[in-house]
Amino acid sequence: MDNIGAILKAAGLSYENIVKTTCLLADINDFAAMNKVYAEYFPTNPPARSAFAVKDLPKGARLEIEVIAQ
């Protein structure tokens, strides 16, 4: 999420500009932990979100988040 914040800032945007996220989890059992951190970045009016368990992510990552911001 910090990396996403840096990209947003470089574009003159913030987390408030995010309208949709897609969260890819290597293990769906990590959803609750991911959701807890996610809520810290979006305490009110979170963007639309999809979350999926996937077989593998690059470089052994456990989570990948894609965002759409405007």
The CATH number covering residue 43 comes to 3.30.1330.40
Per-residue pLDDT band for 13 (boundaries 50, 70, 90) equals very high
Query: Rounded CA gap, 20 and 52, in Å?
Result: 14
Domain extent at residue 20: 2-69
Contact yes or no for 69/8 (Cβ under 8 A): yes
pLDDT at position 35 is 95
- The total number of structural domains in the chain stands at 1
Query: Rounded CA gap, 54 and 45, in Å?
Result: 27
| pLDDT tens per residue, range 17-70 | 999 999 999 999 999 999 999 999 999 999 999 999 999 999 999 999 999 999
